[in-house]
Chains A and B, each alone.
Chain A
Amino acid sequence: MNTDITTAVRPAIVLTILFAILLGLVYPLAMTGIGQAIFPSQANGSLVRDGGGRVIGSTVVGQAFTSDRYFQTRPSAAGKGYDGLASSGSNYGPTSQALADRVKADVARRRGEGVTAMPADLLTASGSGLDPDLSPAAALAQAPRVARVRGLPVARVAALVAPLTEDSPLGDRHVNVLALNQALDRMTRR
């Protein structure tokens, strides 16, 4: 037993150091170099800039839209909402009173806006609190409100959703809210 231990000391320490260098430094740093060279946009967070070069968001990470002028994002439990430094779900269980209270309040608010069918994703918080997407149904449900506030025909606002809807056999149909609202702004400006 003693020789078992003494013969293990050197490889245990030396291999810890060698693997730390290889797997903890060389591997991630080399991948950073390669990634930055081949996919510079994605490797740096798929950032979106406006005409002046200011960063207005990321196509990948969701941002808060709370104004009536925009398609609004889902409820978020990340910090005070869409906090990029505190991703989180609500973690409310199915029998949580707090969950029911939150949904009840949101349903009442949406009814006030004229929404009749309540798509599940519009009333529920995402896992990350940074969900960038809505289901097409949740976007379309908001079209009448957005159209009213902006003084546009509902049909024109609603027509923005379909071309921006992404479909994958591996997941659900979704529309990126930042892209949708950018399209909305472009249309209004014109």
Chain B
Amino acid sequence: MTLQGWILILGFVGILLALAKPVGLWLFALYEGRRTPLHVVLGPVERGFYALAGVDPQQEQGWRRYAVHMLLFNAVLMLFTYAMLRAQGMLPGNPQHLAAVGEHLSFNTAISFTTNTNWQSYGGESTMSNLSQMLGLTIHNFLSSATGIALAFALFRGFARREAKTVGNFWADVTRITLYLLLPLCIVLTLVYIAGGVPQTLAGVVDVSTLEGAKQSILLGPVASQEAIKMLGTNGGGFFNANSAHPFENPTAFTNMVQMLSIFVLGVGLTWCFGKAVGNPRQGWAILAAMMILFLAGTSVTYWAEAAGNPVLHQLGVAGGNMEGKEVRFGIAASALFSVITTAASCGAVNAMHDSFTALGGLAPLFNMQLGEIVVGGVGAGIYGFLLFAILAVFVAGLMVGRTPEYVGKKIESREVKLAVLAIAVLPLVILGLAAISCVLQQGLAGPLNKGPHGFSEILYAFTSAVANNGSAFAGLTANTPYYNGLLGVAMWIGRFFIIVPVLAIAGSLAAKKYTPESAGSFPTTGGLWVGLLVGVILVLGGLTFLPSLALGPIADHLAMIRGQLF
């Protein structure tokens, strides 16, 4: 570990904290449906969309209607992309003349991008045409993240409103978030990326005669425009197979910093927006503090493990930290930091290959996802996932003092706690269930590249990533098979919508309650005690379930590594 590495990590956190309020203010304006300066330009577009779609943005929806409209929209979007990928061979914008994408791969990919997972069973450069990347995939990058923020807004309204029947209008939320937040930011980010060396062209392959006289083909495409929303929307689906490790996706240490900030910036802004929405920004800061504690803990583990390196290679005479799967322009600190950010959020973009991390270096990213990606988390998904834990934490506190728990002015009763537990239980149930099945079936065991405990880690990581809607991989796993494409597709769907629907039900139930003012007996949810309780509840309720599986995977792998046992 170096001083420069730590300055990078702490500097990153510092910039984020400085961005929380300004971004949160912008989000709050959208949450309230207020006018922004951008309405001058984009207002007519918004109104045109409503007119053509027959939407009245003023018409409020109850949680059931909000949920049904969200589900139907996502279903239509998914079918759109599935149809497009199946028809790829017949469509224009295909300079490489790639054939149609296969059935199970199209199924997996359409779900993957709809659910904000962006798990990629394919290598982008050899599978997707320019048109598929733009029209079939980029659109989901915008709309799945807009859906996530919309759901967070609905839950915020549940906490903020008093004796109300409604939680907002889904169509208005999605349209406003896309037009006034995601699109303008992406225009700026695209230009930053192009300036840094990310291609943006409709051309395809360029033939190169290298200095040594060999032939090399390099692929160009509309990369920068996709890169911008890929990071900002915590999607993570790369234009190329190597994702943000590819020099065309992430050419410099500066673009790397911009990408890391993009992943977290909206999630951090949403914590502030939540505090403002419930009338006390300190509520938001408390959440952010708990997130940052968990984040710095994970980063420290991975940075330490990667900087210490692999003793197996040291034995062979190699000096220094673990550089297998890492790019020189980033180095160990920026790669370790990126890996923890991308798994703390539901991004899943990678600037280094997690599969080649040391055993403990790969454990922190895996554990981040198993907690449910609530450390900042995916845009929208992170904060609503975190609030589920907040509900459980006040419930635990309530049990200890023997009072009905309250959180930000709402009594938390049996219905909310049951729904929160239901949503949180999805993760271990599906991840561990499907990973266990895959360890006994031939089709499952055919997947891993690495043998021994690391092979098990590859399977565990895949289902964790899918259910948590992350999309990063221990990419040695051969996942482009009917078995894995099918099962991971189902896992992603469950991981997204079996959590969203309980969240909306909680929003509806909270909105209907009356305001309970804070009293002397209320457990304060802003101070250090609360932050500590949150961290504890997250680790115990969210993490402990996975400890046995981690012992079989990364921890066994670590013990083998220090003994020099190879597989």
**Chain A interface residues (CB < 8 Å from chain B):** 1, 4-5, 7-16, 18-20, 22-25, 27-28, 31-32, 34-36, 38-39, 42-47, 54-67, 70, 74, 78, 82-97, 99-100, 103-104, 107, 111, 117-121, 123-135, 138, 166, 168-172, 174, 178, 181-182, 185
Range, interface on chain B = 35 or more
Pick the contact of A92: B200, B247, B324, B326 (CB < 8 A).
B324
Decide: A64 and B212 in contact? CB cutoff 8 A. Answer: yes
Residue B99 is within 8 A (CB to CB) of chain A in the complex: no
Pick the contact of A58: B73, B218, B335, B352 (CB < 8 A).
B218
- Of all chain B residues, the one with the shortest Cβ separation from A14 is B53
Point out the residues of chain B lying under 8 angstroms from A96, CB to CB. Answer: 450-451, 454, 566-567
Pick the contact of A16: B77, B205, B328 (CB < 8 A).
B77
Task: Identify 16 residue pairs between A and B in the complex whose beta-carbon atoms are under 8 Å apart, listed by A's number.
Answer: A15-B174, A20-B80, A28-B226, A32-B200, A36-B201, A42-B194, A55-B207, A61-B248, A84-B208, A87-B246, A90-B356, A94-B356, A96-B566, A132-B329, A169-B8, A170-B8
Decide: A58 and B208 in contact? CB cutoff 8 A. Answer: yes
Q: In the complex, given contacts A12-B72, A19-B178, what are 8 additional A-B residue pairs having Cβ atoms less than 8 angstroms apart?
A: A36-B200, A42-B195, A42-B198, A87-B245, A95-B454, A124-B318, A128-B247, A131-B327
Decide: A42 and B196 in contact? CB cutoff 8 A. Answer: yes
Decide: B218 and A133 in contact? CB cutoff 8 A. Answer: no
Residue B296 is within 8 A (CB to CB) of chain A in the complex: no
Q: Which of B135-143, B379-387, B486-494, B514-522 contacts A (4 or more CB under 8 A)?
A: B135-143
Pick the 3 closest A-B CB pairs, nearest first.
A172-B331, A171-B253, A127-B245
Decide: A91 and B356 in contact? CB cutoff 8 A. Answer: yes
Pick the contact of A86: B126, B197, B458 (CB < 8 A).
B126
Decide: A8 and B319 in contact? CB cutoff 8 A. Answer: no
Pick the contact of B125: A8, A85, A182 (CB < 8 A).
A85
Per-residue CB contact flags for chain B residues 103-120 toward chain A (1 = under 8 Å, else 0) read 000000000000000000
Point out the residues of chain A lying under 8 angstroms from B335, CB to CB. Answer: 127
- Bound together, the chains give a CA A76 to CA B497 distance in angstroms of 40
**B349 CB → nearest A CB, Å:** 12
Decide: A171 and B330 in contact? CB cutoff 8 A. Answer: yes
Max count, chain B CB within 10 A of own CB: residue among A27, A39, A70, A125:
A27
Decide: A85 and B126 in contact? CB cutoff 8 A. Answer: yes
Decide: B139 and A15 in contact? CB cutoff 8 A. Answer: no
Decide: A23 and B322 in contact? CB cutoff 8 A. Answer: no
Per-residue CB contact flags for chain B residues 169-184 toward chain A (1 = under 8 Å, else 0) read 0010011001000010
Decide: B143 and A19 in contact? CB cutoff 8 A. Answer: yes
Point out the residues of chain B lying under 8 angstroms from A86, CB to CB. Answer: 123, 125-126, 241
CB within 8 Å for A64 and B210 given contacts A9-B72, A43-B200, A84-B219: yes
**Chain B interface residues (CB < 8 Å from chain A):** 4, 7-8, 45, 49, 52-55, 64-65, 68-69, 72-73, 75-77, 80, 123, 125-126, 134-136, 138-139, 142-143, 171, 174-175, 178, 183, 186-187, 190-191, 194-203, 205-212, 214, 216-220, 222, 224-226, 240-242, 245-248, 251-254, 256-257, 309-310, 312-313, 316-335, 350-353, 355-359, 449-454, 457-458, 474-476, 557, 560-561, 565-567
Decide: A35 and B328 in contact? CB cutoff 8 A. Answer: no
- Bound together, the chains give a CA A93 to CA B567 distance in angstroms of 10
**A53 CB → nearest B CB, Å:** 11
Point out the residues of chain B lying under 8 angstroms from A16, CB to CB. Answer: 73, 76-77, 80
CB within 8 Å for A15 and B53 given contacts A60-B197, A118-B318, A126-B326: yes
Decide: B475 and A91 in contact? CB cutoff 8 A. Answer: yes
